[in-house]
Structure 1
Amino acid sequence: WLWKSKAFSDNPIGVSGRKGGWKWGDPTANSDAAVEALQYVIDLQKSGASPSPDVGGGATLQGLMASGRIGMTIGGGFWAGGLHNAGMKNGSFDVVEFPTWKSNKSLFGAGGYGIFNSSKNKDLAFEVIKVMVQPESFDSLWPGNVTTPAQKSLMTADRYKTTGPEHWSVFYDQLDNSVPISAPPYYNALATALNQRTTQAISSGNAKKALDGLQADIEKAASQAS
């Protein structure tokens, strides 16, 4: 429904072929490319060029950047407010499009509000949600640029003048070159296994052994979810 909405009615080329994502195939956690990539991360950490990968969320990484332990990372629009709140001043950081390799596709993610089936006030809850999604309600709910507004009309230079970054428009402009990546039904088990096996790889220095274990973990989770 998103790509057929009025928001994209004047951009038929940009939405051509967009759907809801793809069907997940067999796990490939211990592929040669995955092992090479993780071993590279291990080597960076061992050489002192990078801190150890952290299993925390964005707030943890923002603290590492604000303290000078990392100098570049991927991140969405919530980093503008996150880095500002972590102590970084406007002008001390910026954002660019992700470097292009075989393609330059970005992950498109969106959040929304739901109503429990068990709610005894569904109609009232729906009225509240309608107020919450109005443009004039955005700053009351999400002050300080801690997320990217869904409405493009809210993406203005004035909004980012206190936090930065200078090239704030990149956050929303990447939507035209983004793809939806649907989470597999066993995502929770996958995330837990990934964190555990990454920690194992960093502590042991053996990416292949850790990813062989991750492959087995994911195969088990996938079989239980099917």
Structure 2
Amino acid sequence: MKLKKTTALMGTALLMVALTACGGNNNKTVAENEKPSNTATTETNDATNEAANSTENTPAAAEPVTLTVLNEGAVGIGVGLVDDLLVSKEKELKDGGTDIAYTPGSQFEGAAFGLYYQKFISTKLKEKNISVKTEDWGWGEPLIQKETAGFLAKNIPDIIVGETQMPGFAQQGLLEAFPDDMAAEIREKLAPAAWKPMEIDGKIYGLASQPGVSSLFWNKKLVKEAGLDPEKAITTWAELVDNAKKVTDAGKGKFYGGGVYGAPNFGGYLRYGALVAINGGTFADANGLPTFNSDANVEVIELLRTLNANHPAGLMLNNNEGTYFDAWNKGQLAYLIDGPWRAQECKNVGLECGMAPIPLSPNGKPGNVTIGAAFHSVPVDAKNKEAAFDYIRAMYSTEVQQLIADSNTRSPILKEIAETDDYKTKHPEMYLHYQAMIGNVQGLPTFAKDNSKAWQIFGDAAVKSLMTDGDIKAIMDDAQKRAELVTK
């Protein structure tokens, strides 16, 4: 899609990117609750000194710069000057009994993740006379509305953050392209899931330091009760359907086969979007026009209809995402397609779970959609662009990426860490996730016009297909016609 000029964005045209984002805060709860048994032995100052000593010396900026950065839930420690927040956060954790010791290469208390993440970045930026001030604009629709207003008023932070809305902002010409040398380094050193969804016309416009992609998880106890091998990973859609039905039959109303969250919202689209990618389908073409009624998409909806029958009535389409995952945590569903945090969350709630790549359709190829990917970008109207790009560089530094690796909740994007034998051995599940991050990964599209309405049309058609026995192709044909009217 050709990049549009910012001036074409004024007024209601900007609102087309108003998507309800999801997933960025999913990791917050997991990280806060995670308490790995193998804690480390070095206090925060020692770990920070190691980060400082390993950083290449860079001349300080001529004058100090205060960078304004939007908070992202999984790594945020509050609002204000980060130097002040680090002091108060460390005290809060210690007073609450959290062991904040951390030695790189060892697991640590999950509640300390944000503290170290911000401290490592702050240490690197101080070398360039850059300090950081954070603001919290929320997530989802409130965040998008504030960002939209900020763009229109040309009053926007130096770094903004978001998920499904960010490619649309880039397409509208609202974001600054990464410098060519930085983009080349990113392509060489980082997993595509971190940047590929933010690549427009050969330029990169955003980066996520710990993006997620989906995998298949299964509750070994329920699978075994259905007479199936709990250690065997299924590899095909046919196996998924067959196994889900066997578990549902064995459960007799107490537990079900499950499969994937399928509500008409971005929590659903981000998860079963992976099935669309696997089957060679798309939600939109390169010009942002709908492709709802393709044969590949119809086959995905047919699969979802079958899986819906292996859930408690109404659960798969429940707009409250938490209700669905609460059922999983209570051991009521056997199969689940979800992001990498689910591996640690299984341990947190006492479930023995298997994890494997998402099964393939008969003619499918591995594919995925980023989920829980908090993309950081520099607006064209940012006041401190050079410092903002320094911040993003720090996000993929060795220190920050090692911290992410040690958290065991997400995979690092830095290849030199993720592809080591040490990482493969210590974090086999997250290495499996990393392998998916370097494959065929995409983000959800932004439609050429009236984006929210187009997604609503698709979601309504998907729900109708799952809740009735109507002809799915006819339902999607009708949705295609209506979506074409609002996007052209």
| TM-score bracket for the superposition, by shorter chain length | 0.5 to 0.7
Contact 1:190 1:218 in 2 (8 A): yes
| Residue identity matched to 1:122 | K
Quote the offset at 1:114 in angstroms: 0.9
Distance 1:125 1:103, change over 3 A: same
Distance 1:4 1:143, change over 3 A: closer
Contact 1:64 1:70 in 2 (8 A): yes
Contact 2:410 2:430 in 1 (8 A): no
Structure 2 counterpart of 1:191, from 438, 452, 455? 455
Distance 1:44 1:197, change over 3 A: same
Using the alignment, how far apart are the partners of 1:6 and 1:33 within structure 2? 32
1:50 aligns with 2:314: no
Structure 1 counterpart of 2:354, from 94, 99, 122? 94
Quote the offset at 1:150 in angstroms: 0.7
Higher fraction of strand: 2
Contact 2:402 2:412 in 1 (8 A): no
> Normalization by structure 1: what TM-score?
0.63
SS of the equivalent of 2:333 reads coil
SS of the equivalent of 1:216 reads helix
Corresponding position of 1:29 = 292
Equivalences for residues 101-116 of structure 1 within 5 A: 101-107=362-368, 109=370, 112-116=375-379
Using the alignment, how far apart are the partners of 1:28 and 1:54 within structure 2? 22
Distance 1:57 1:84, change over 3 A: farther
Using the alignment, how far apart are the partners of 2:359 and 2:378 within structure 1? 39
Corresponding position of 1:211 = 476
% of aligned pairs identical? 18
Structure 2: gaps of 5 or more residues? 1-182, 191-200, 203-281
Using the alignment, how far apart are the partners of 2:396 and 2:320 within structure 1? 26
Higher Rg of the two aligned structures: 2
Using the alignment, how far apart are the partners of 1:193 and 1:80 within structure 2? 33
Corresponding position of 2:440 = 178
Using the alignment, how far apart are the partners of 2:320 and 2:434 within structure 1? 22
Corresponding position of 2:412 = 149
Quote the offset at 1:34 in angstroms: 4.6
Distance 1:122 1:25, change over 3 A: closer
| Residue identity matched to 1:147 | R
Using the alignment, how far apart are the partners of 1:103 and 1:43 within structure 2? 18
SS of the equivalent of 2:485 reads helix
Using the alignment, how far apart are the partners of 1:182 and 1:26 within structure 2? 13
Structure 2 counterpart of 1:123, from 383, 386, 394? 386
SS of the equivalent of 1:168 reads helix
Distance 1:137 1:55, change over 3 A: farther
Distance 1:123 1:182, change over 3 A: same
Using the alignment, how far apart are the partners of 1:88 and 1:157 within structure 2? 24
Distance 1:127 1:23, change over 3 A: closer
Using the alignment, how far apart are the partners of 2:374 and 2:184 within structure 1? 13
1:65 aligns with 2:328: yes
Equivalences for residues 2-17 of structure 1 within 5 A: 5-7=187-189
Quote the offset at 1:136 in angstroms: 1.6
Quote the offset at 1:151 in angstroms: 1.3
1:113-157 Cα shifts (integer Å, max 9, x gaps):
211222223233233323233232247689844433211344425
| Residue identity matched to 2:357 | E
Distance 1:202 1:106, change over 3 A: closer
Using the alignment, how far apart are the partners of 1:140 and 1:169 within structure 2? 15
Contact 2:461 2:476 in 1 (8 A): yes
> Normalization by structure 2: what TM-score?
0.34
SS of the equivalent of 1:95 reads strand
| Residue identity matched to 1:185 | F
Q: CA RMSD in A?
A: 4.2
